């Protein structure tokens, strides 16, 4: 079975399509998903979605590109909001230098604060990093993210970044990008790092994998990410399913699977 380790299935744009999506997930053996919070104002929706669906878990955190005042969180708030049994991680948080430009001290401070909250809550950090490889890894190191563990979600980094993450005990999650023809560097990371550190995700509604590129994404399509990784590593889809699901529950150890 497969778990979509990072999606935004609680997003209002999926309302009305959920029965179809859940039945396609079942068909593709996708048995669970982590729906990730990007802003504090969205957290109540994220949490209630996860509480009303079996094997859907959620997180709490503020995306680096979220810029509304209400979403600036304190460590105490993040820790308090993470106590529900369905909240299994802190994030997504991190650095996004693609959509935002300097000065970005506020992004770096927000990221550090999330790592500190995760250590306090004893939950893993869900890391978003775009065009910010070195700063991301430096902030993870400076704030001892190895203590609470972390995943580099929607991995777009290079071998060097992957190596630093692995040495810190981190996990690497691949999205539909790994299926894109021009994603040669990401494919080379996906084929060479230890299988027991790999997660798969859709990050839906964005980034649909080939053969759905450009169309709307949903958690059932995580199977195409897993298939690509199997192909790149010359192993079976079943092996990728088994390993990535085991990895998901090892990292997000608070997530309880209901059979
Ligand atoms: Zn992200
Ligand atoms: Zn996301």
- Measured in angstroms, how far is the CA atom of residue 185 from the centroid of ligand 2? 21
Tell me if 131 is assigned to a ligand binding site. no
Q: What is the pLDDT of residue 172?
A: 98
For residue 7, the ligand closest to its alpha carbon is 2
- The residue among 59, 58, 55 whose CA lies nearest residue 1 is 55
Q: Tokens 């079943």 sit at which residue?
A: 238
| 153 annotated ligand binder | yes
68 is in an annotated binding site: no
177 CA distance to ligand 2 middle (Å): 13
The pair of structure tokens assigned to 23 is 């039945």
Closest CA to 146 of 121, 163, 129, 171: 171
Averaged pLDDT for residues 222-231: 98
On whether 114 is known to bind a ligand per the annotation, the reply is no
User: Tokens for 35?
Assistant: 């729906």
β-sheet with 56-60: strand ranges across:
2-7, 30-35, 56-60, 87-96, 125-130, 150-152, 171-174, 198-200
Residues 39, 67 contacting (CB under 8 angstroms) = no
Neighbouring residues of 187: CB distance < 8 A, sequence distance ≥ 6: 178, 228, 232
pLDDT tens digit string along 131-151?
999 999 999 999 999 999 999
CA of 37 to the centre of ligand 2 (A): 8
pLDDT digits (tens, 9 = 90+) for 91-120: 999 999 999 888 999 999 999 999 999 999
pLDDT of residue 101: 87
What percent of the chain is predicted at pLDDT more than 90? 95
Domains of the chain (ranges, CATH numbers): 2-251 (3.20.20.140)
pLDDT tens by residue, 44-96? 999 999 999 999 999 999 999 998 878 899 999 999 999 999 999 999 999 99
Taking the CA of 206 as reference, the closest ligand is 2
Question: Residue 8 CA: which ligand is closest?
Answer: 2
Neighbours of ion ligand 1 (CB under 5 A): 92, 128
Q: Does 6 appear as a known binding residue?
A: yes
Beta-bridge partners for 96: 130
């Amino acid at each position: 079975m497969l778990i979509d380790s990072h999606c935004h299935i609680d997003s209002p744009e999926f309302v009305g399509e959920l029965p179809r999506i859940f039945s396609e997930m079942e068909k593709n053996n996708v048995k669970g998903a982590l729906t990730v919070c990007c802003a504090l104002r969205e957290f109540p929706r994220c949490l209630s979605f996860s509480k009303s669906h079996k094997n859907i878990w959620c997180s709490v955190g503020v995306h680096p590109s979220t810029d509304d005042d209400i979403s600036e969180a304190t460590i105490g708030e993040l820790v308090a909001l993470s106590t529900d049994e369905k909240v299994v991680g802190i994030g997504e948080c991190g650095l996004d230098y693609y959509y935002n430009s300097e000065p970005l001290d506020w992004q770096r401070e927000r990221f550090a604060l999330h790592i500190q909250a995760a250590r306090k809550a004893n939950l893993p950090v869900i890391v978003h990093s775009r065009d910010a490889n070195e700063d991301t890894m430096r902030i993870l190191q400076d704030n001892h993210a190895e203590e609470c563990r972390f995943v580099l979600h929607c991995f777009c980094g290079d071998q060097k970044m992957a190596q630093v993450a692995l040495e810190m005990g981190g996990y690497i999650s691949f999205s539909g990008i790994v299926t894109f023809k021009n994603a040669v560097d990401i494919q080379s990371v996906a084929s060479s790092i230890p299988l027991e550190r790999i997660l798969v995700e859709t990050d839906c509604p964005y980034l649909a994998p080939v053969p759905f590129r450009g169309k709307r994404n949903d958690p059932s399509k995580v199977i195409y990410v897993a298939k690509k990784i199997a192909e790149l590593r010359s192993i079976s889809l079943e092996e990728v399913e088994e390993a990535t699901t085991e990895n998901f529950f090892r990292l997000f150890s608070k997530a309880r699977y209901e059979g």
